[in-house]
Amino acid sequence: AQKVTQAQTEISVVEKEDVTLDCVYETRDTTYYLFWYKQPPSGELVFLIRRNSFDEQNEISGRYSWNFQKSTSSFNFTITASQVVDSAVYFCALSEPMEYGNKLVFGAGTILRVKS
Protein backbone atom coordinates (compact mmCIF):
# COMPACT_ATOMS: atom_id res chain seq x y z
CA ALA A 1 0.00 0.00 0.00
CA GLN A 2 1.00 3.57 -0.55
CA LYS A 3 2.57 5.51 2.27
CA VAL A 4 3.33 9.21 2.74
CA THR A 5 5.74 10.44 5.39
CA GLN A 6 5.95 14.01 6.53
CA ALA A 7 8.67 13.78 9.12
CA GLN A 8 8.40 17.39 10.27
CA THR A 9 5.56 17.56 12.76
CA GLU A 10 5.88 21.29 13.36
CA ILE A 11 8.07 24.08 12.00
CA SER A 12 8.35 27.61 13.33
CA VAL A 13 9.93 30.39 11.32
CA VAL A 14 10.10 34.14 11.44
CA GLU A 15 8.40 36.10 8.72
CA LYS A 16 10.45 36.47 5.51
CA GLU A 17 12.42 33.29 6.15
CA ASP A 18 12.34 30.54 3.53
CA VAL A 19 10.98 27.20 4.68
CA THR A 20 10.88 23.74 3.11
CA LEU A 21 8.31 21.11 4.01
CA ASP A 22 9.45 17.57 3.30
CA CYS A 23 7.36 14.78 1.84
CA VAL A 24 8.60 11.26 1.16
CA TYR A 25 6.36 8.65 -0.41
CA GLU A 26 6.30 4.91 -1.06
CA THR A 27 4.55 3.27 -3.98
CA ARG A 28 4.98 0.33 -6.31
CA ASP A 29 2.93 1.95 -9.04
CA THR A 30 4.61 3.47 -12.08
CA THR A 31 1.77 5.91 -12.61
CA TYR A 32 0.74 7.95 -9.63
CA TYR A 33 -0.19 11.46 -8.59
CA LEU A 34 1.12 13.65 -5.79
CA PHE A 35 -0.64 16.53 -4.13
CA TRP A 36 -0.19 19.25 -1.56
CA TYR A 37 -3.10 20.68 0.42
CA LYS A 38 -3.16 23.59 2.86
CA GLN A 39 -5.37 23.67 5.94
CA PRO A 40 -5.45 27.18 7.42
CA PRO A 41 -6.71 27.81 10.97
CA SER A 42 -10.25 28.13 9.63
CA GLY A 43 -10.13 24.40 8.92
CA GLU A 44 -10.94 23.99 5.24
CA LEU A 45 -8.64 22.02 2.93
CA VAL A 46 -7.26 24.01 0.02
CA PHE A 47 -5.70 22.35 -3.03
CA LEU A 48 -2.24 23.71 -3.87
CA ILE A 49 -0.71 21.48 -6.52
CA ARG A 50 -0.92 18.19 -8.37
CA ARG A 51 2.00 16.41 -10.03
CA ASN A 52 1.92 13.18 -12.02
CA SER A 53 4.72 10.65 -11.86
CA PHE A 54 5.91 11.34 -15.41
CA ASP A 55 6.45 15.04 -14.89
CA GLU A 56 9.53 15.75 -12.81
CA GLN A 57 9.73 19.41 -13.68
CA ASN A 58 9.85 21.65 -10.68
CA GLU A 59 7.01 24.10 -10.38
CA ILE A 60 6.90 27.64 -9.10
CA SER A 61 3.80 29.60 -8.26
CA GLY A 62 4.57 32.96 -6.73
CA ARG A 63 6.33 32.34 -3.41
CA TYR A 64 5.57 28.62 -3.58
CA SER A 65 7.74 26.05 -5.30
CA TRP A 66 7.75 22.27 -5.45
CA ASN A 67 10.65 19.90 -6.05
CA PHE A 68 9.70 16.43 -7.27
CA GLN A 69 12.48 13.83 -7.33
CA LYS A 70 11.53 10.27 -8.26
CA SER A 71 15.05 9.05 -7.44
CA THR A 72 14.51 9.86 -3.78
CA SER A 73 10.70 9.49 -3.78
CA SER A 74 10.32 13.01 -2.51
CA PHE A 75 7.97 15.87 -3.29
CA ASN A 76 9.12 18.80 -1.20
CA PHE A 77 7.41 22.15 -0.86
CA THR A 78 9.25 25.44 -0.35
CA ILE A 79 7.76 28.75 0.69
CA THR A 80 10.00 31.70 -0.06
CA ALA A 81 9.83 34.81 2.10
CA SER A 82 7.21 33.31 4.38
CA GLN A 83 4.33 35.40 5.65
CA VAL A 84 2.07 35.09 8.67
CA VAL A 85 -0.79 34.09 6.35
CA ASP A 86 1.21 30.97 5.43
CA SER A 87 0.62 29.63 8.94
CA ALA A 88 -1.35 26.42 8.44
CA VAL A 89 -1.16 22.66 8.40
CA TYR A 90 0.20 21.35 5.11
CA PHE A 91 -0.61 17.87 3.86
CA CYS A 92 1.15 15.88 1.20
CA ALA A 93 -0.94 13.17 -0.47
CA LEU A 94 -0.43 10.32 -2.93
CA SER A 95 -2.99 8.62 -5.15
CA GLU A 96 -3.66 4.93 -4.57
CA PRO A 97 -5.71 2.83 -6.98
CA MET A 98 -8.84 1.21 -5.57
CA GLU A 99 -11.28 -1.18 -7.17
CA TYR A 100 -12.98 1.89 -8.59
CA GLY A 101 -10.93 5.01 -9.17
CA ASN A 102 -8.29 6.26 -6.76
CA LYS A 103 -8.17 7.45 -3.22
CA LEU A 104 -5.71 9.90 -1.74
CA VAL A 105 -3.41 8.70 1.00
CA PHE A 106 -2.38 11.59 3.22
CA GLY A 107 0.68 12.21 5.30
CA ALA A 108 0.26 13.22 8.93
CA GLY A 109 0.73 16.88 8.06
CA THR A 110 3.24 19.55 9.01
CA ILE A 111 2.16 22.47 11.16
CA LEU A 112 3.83 25.65 9.95
CA ARG A 113 3.89 28.64 12.29
CA VAL A 114 5.14 31.91 10.85
CA LYS A 115 5.81 34.55 13.46
CA SER A 116 5.91 38.26 12.75
Partner 1 sequence: NAGVTQTPKFRILKIGQSMTLQCTQDMNHNYMYWYRQDPGMGLKLIYYSVGAGITDKGEVPNGYNVSRSTTEDFPLRLELAAPSQTSVYFCASSYSGGIYGYTFGSGTRLTVV
Considering only residues 73-92, where is the footprint of partner 1 by CB under 8 A?
91
For position 99 contacting partner 1 by CB under 8 A, the verdict is yes
Amino acid type, 34 = L
Provide CB contacts within 8 A for 23, sequence distance 6+.
4, 5, 6, 34, 36, 74, 75, 76, 77, 92, 107
For position 8 contacting partner 1 by CB under 8 A, the verdict is no
In angstroms, the CA 13 to CA 47 distance is 23
Q: In the complex, what is the shortest distance from the CB of residue 13 to partner 1, in angstroms, rounded to a whole number?
A: 20
Q: In the complex, what is the shortest distance from the CB of residue 80 to partner 1, in angstroms, rounded to a whole number?
A: 23
Among 44, 54, 61, 62, binds partner 1 (CB under 8 A): 44
